[in-house]
Each structure stands twice: as C-alpha cells, then as structure tokens.
Amino acid sequence: MRFIAVALVITVLFSIEMLFNFNMKLDDCYDDLRNEGYKFDELAEFGPPTCRVKKPVKIYSLPNTNLNKPITLSCPFAKRVGDWASDINAKSISHVGGYNCRKIAGSPFMSQHSYGKAIDVVSIDNVPVSKKWKHAAELACEHFNNVLGPGSDKAHADHLHLDSGLGLKCAFQ
C-alpha cells in the first residue's frame, strides 16, 4: 500500500512538472539562445502526450562548445547544458543522446529524455567521462537536478547523465 501511495505522488509530481515546465520563461528562450551564440534550429512541439517536448530545439553547437553531433532538447534544458559547458570550459562534448521517448530502465516512470530534458555525455574535450569526471559532475550539480555518472550505479559507469527532472541534486556524491 505504501509503495502505491509513493508511486502515485511521484506520478502526480512528474505530471505537474511536465505540464508547467518550471525551468525558465519559455517565451524568451529562443531569443536567449540566439543572443548567447547557440547554433540551433527551432522545432515544432512534437511527441505523443507521454513524451511531449516543449519548445524543442535541435542544437548544433553551444556558445563556446562544439558537439559531436546535433542533439534535440527542450530549449530551457539546452540553455542549462550550455551554461554548464561554459562553467567547465569545455571546447567539445561528445554525447550519446538527448530526446528519446522511453521509460527509466526498470521503472514505470518516463525518463527525462522523453521530454528533451536529459543528456548523456560520454567525453569532454576528447577525454572519456569514465577517466575524468568529478569536476564536471560537481559543477553539473549547479545546473541540473539529477547528475548520475561513474560511482552512482552500473548503468552510468561510462557517462554522465544530466537531467532537470524531479530529484535530489547530486545525491550520489
């Protein structure tokens, strides 16, 4: 019974977060990215109701950071990624994905990837995250609600998972 109550509360909170998108003022987001030097395309809102991306963008590069390939994210989340990349002085970031409509592995809940509000980073300035990650993870804690990487669990042993969903900032550290 207790598990059902906890699951219901989490589902309600995820629904509220998805509906209201607490990240930042959505109306100004595209202009903010443009003014700061992001290279991107505005995309139309897309996805099924369980995987709706608000203010989606296809990011080609961040203001001071090249990406190994374009990535689709929500505009407010793209801004967070760019701010973090600037904080760590990254010249290049390799990632293995942003938007992906799916559940969290082993869970009934949708992943933040489903809303364009997560990124999986495998290397920074051509150095694999599995070899050097602590400084980047510590600074990520200032921008993201969930930071998972080497040391947090087996699923994140070789990359940093950064998202803006509900969570405890840097609980694994």
**What is the predicted pLDDT for the residue at 23?**
43
Closest CA to 63 of 43, 83, 77: 83
Where do the structural domains in the chain lie, given as residue ranges? 2-163
**What is the predicted pLDDT for the residue at 123?**
97
DSSP string, 50-78: GG-BSSEEEEEEETTEEEEEEEEEEHHHH
**What are the mean pLDDT values of the chain's consecutive 10-residue runs (173 residues total)?**
46 46 67 97 92 95 98 97 97 96 91 96 96 91 91 87 82 54
Q: Any idea which architecture 2-163 has in CATH?
A: 2-Layer Sandwich (3.30)
**What is the predicted pLDDT for the residue at 25?**
60
**What is the predicted pLDDT for the residue at 21?**
44
CA angle, 25 as apex, 22 and 30 as ends, to 5°?
A: 125
Strand partners, 62: 65
Provide the whole-model pTM: 0.84
Closest CA to 33 of 83, 94, 70, 102: 83
**What is the predicted pLDDT for the residue at 4?**
47
Q: Give, in order, the Cα–Cα distances in Å from 6 to each of 9, 12, 13, 50, 52.
A: 5, 10, 11, 20, 24
